[in-house]
Amino acid sequence: MNRVALKNELDSLHFDNSFIRKLPGDLQADNFIRQVQHACYSKIRPTPVANPQLVAYSREVAGELGLPESSCNSELFTMVFGGNSLLKGMEPYSMCYGGHQFGNWAGQLGDGRAINLGEVITKSGGRQILQLKGAGPTPYSRSADGLAVLRSSVREFLCSEAMFHLGIPTTRALSLITTGESVLRDMFYDGHPKNEPGAVVCRVAPSFLRFGNFEILATRQELSLLKQLVDYTITTDFPHLGPPSKAVYLNWFQEVCNTTLNMILHWMRVGFVHGVMNTDNMSILGITIDYGPYGWLEGYEPNWTPNTTDAQGKRYSYSNQPHMAQWNLLQLANSIYPILQDKEAIEEILQSYSTQFQTGWNKMMADKLGLATFTGITDDTLIGDLIDLLQEVETDMTIFFRNLSSLSLDSSGMDVKTADHPLYEAYYSPEQRSDAYCIRMNNWLLAYKNRLKGEQILPELRQQKMNRVNPKYVLRNYLAQLAIDRAETGDNSLVQELLEVLRNPYDEQLNNKRYAEKRPEWARNKPGCSMLSCSS
Last residue of a domain, one of 423, 456, 489: 456
User: For 478, what's the count of Cα atoms within 13 Å in the CB-facing half-sphere?
Assistant: 15
pLDDT confidence of residue 375: 93
> Does some domain include residue 318?
no
pLDDT value, residue 188: 67
172-185 vs 53-57, strand pairing mode: antiparallel
Tens of pLDDT, residues 356-412: 999 999 999 999 999 999 999 999 999 999 999 999 999 999 999 999 999 988 766
Report, as an integer, the average pLDDT of 128-151. Answer: 97
Does 428 reside within a domain? yes
Structural domain includes residue 396: yes
Given a cut of 50, is residue 5 above it in pLDDT? no
User: What pLDDT, on the 0 to 100 scale, is given for residue 413?
Assistant: 62
Give the pLDDT score at 3. Answer: 40
Q: Of 230, 202, 226, nearest to 118 (Cα)?
A: 202
| pLDDT attached to residue 536 | 54
Count of other CB atoms within 10 angstroms of residue 152: 24
Residue 397 lies in a domain: yes
Distance CA 466, CA 368 (A): 6
**Residue 4 pLDDT exceeds 50:** no
Q: Is the dihedral of CA 227, 230, 232, 238 positive or negative?
A: negative
Q: Which of 184, 211, 238 is the last residue before a domain boundary?
A: 211
Residue after which a domain boundary falls, among 177, 211, 245: 211
Is position 278 within any domain?
Answer: no
Query: How many Å apart are CA 185 and CA 388, to the nearest integer?
Result: 40
Three-state DSSP class for 351? Answer: helix
3-state secondary structure 87-145: CCCCCCEEECCEEEECCEEEEECCCCCEEEEEEEECCCCCEEEEEEECECCCCCCCCCC
Residue 414 has a pLDDT of 77
Reference 527, options 178, 192, 176; nearest CA is: 192
Question: Which pLDDT does position 454 carry in this prediction?
Answer: 85
Looking at the domain assignment, is residue 126 inside a domain?
A: yes
- State pLDDT tens for residues 314-361: 999 999 999 999 999 999 999 999 999 999 999 999 999 999 999 999
Q: How far apart are CA 127 and CA 42, in angstroms?
A: 21
Q: Does the annotation count 507 as an active-site position? A: no
- Mean pLDDT value of segment 24-43: 97
Q: Are residues 535 and 189 in contact, defined by beta-carbon separation less than 8 angstroms? A: yes
The 3-class secondary structure across 208-223, one letter per residue, is CCEHHHHHHHHHCCCH
pLDDT of 530 = 77
- Per-residue model confidence (pLDDT) at position 64: 95
* Nearest alpha-carbon partner for 275 in 313, 249, 227, 247: 313
Average pLDDT over residues 160-187: 96
- Total domain count, the chain: 2
Question: From the candidates 26, 111, 280, 290, which is the catalytic residue?
Answer: 280
- Residue 490 inside a domain? The answer is no
Indicate the pTM of the whole model. 0.96
Q: Does 169 reside within a domain?
A: yes
> What range defines the domain where residue 82 resides?
3-211
pLDDT in tens, 491-535: 999 999 999 999 999 999 999 999 999 999 999 988 888 777 765
Share of the chain above pLDDT 90, in %: 90
Q: Which of 396, 399, 423, 412 is CA-nearest to residue 447?
A: 412
Q: What is the mean pLDDT of the chain?
A: 94
- The better pLDDT of the pair 423, 2 is held by 423
Cα–Cα distance measured from residue 102 to residue 104, given in angstroms and rounded to the nearest whole number: 6
Please state, in angstroms and rounded to a whole number, the distance separating the CA atoms of residues 446 and 1: 64
Question: Could you report the per-residue pLDDT of 88-132, keeping only the tens digit for each?
Answer: 999 999 999 999 999 999 999 999 999 999 999 998 899 999 999
Q: How far apart are CA 499 and CA 55, in angstroms?
A: 12
